[in-house]
Amino acid sequence: MDLEIIVQGAQAESKPELKLWLRLLSTTKLISHEIRRRLRAEYGATLPQFDLLAQLYRERDGLRLGELSRRTMVTNGNVTGLVERLEADGLVVRETPDGDRRVTVAKLTPKGEEFFAGMAAAHEGWLRDMMADVSPELIQSMLREVGLLKISARNHLSGAEEE
């Protein structure tokens, strides 16, 4: 069901903030669904796996599992399961620096780096394709405007952390 169905006619005109939020949410949901489908079909990967690999790709020395959990907004238990699966596929290794078994760091293997680089390039292409009907100028304008919206939202948080 399209979330924008909730807001119709005169009600939408009198509640532009609600309409904007629903439009952003439904657009994000639409794009995320397609990205998930393509990741699964073309790489046998999930979006959480993609996100985890992206974090490790940025941090070549690896990341502690707790930090991976924080950055990907996935529970510690789920991060452990994701890392175990990616390790079984030969994409990630787990290390215990200085022999301290209380600390586990996940790192990409060379195979993982190559796999993620291909997936990331495809991901960029998919986004470019999905936004092909929007001019580069409009995309830049929207980036600025949504940036202002994000600042406003952040300014009015009530103690919750920013995502």
Q: Please list the residues that pair with 107 across neighbouring strands.
A: 93
What structural domains and CATH numbers belong to the chain?
Answer: 16-155 (1.10.10.10)
User: CA-CA distance, 156 to 153, in Å (whole number)?
Assistant: 5
Tokens of 40: 């699964």
Tokens of 59: 């941090």
Q: Per-residue pLDDT averaged across 32-52, rounded?
A: 97
Query: Could you read off the pLDDT of 96-150 as tens digits, one per residue?
Result: 887 777 888 999 999 999 999 999 999 999 999 999 999 999 999 999 999 999 9
Kindly list the distances between the CA atom of residue 155 and the CA atoms of 20, 131, 158, in Å, as whole numbers in the listed order. Answer: 18, 29, 9
Query: Could you read off the pLDDT of 60-86 as tens digits, one per residue?
Result: 899 999 999 999 998 988 999 999 999
Query: Could you read off the pLDDT of 93-109 as tens digits, one per residue?
Result: 999 887 777 888 999 99
Report pTM.
Answer: 0.81
Q: How many residues does the chain have?
A: 163
Q: Do the Cβ atoms of 57 and 120 come closer than 8 Å?
A: yes
At residue 10, the pLDDT reads 45
User: CA-CA distance, 43 to 63, in Å (whole number)?
Assistant: 23
User: CA-CA distance, 109 to 96, in Å (whole number)?
Assistant: 15
User: CA-CA distance, 67 to 79, in Å (whole number)?
Assistant: 10
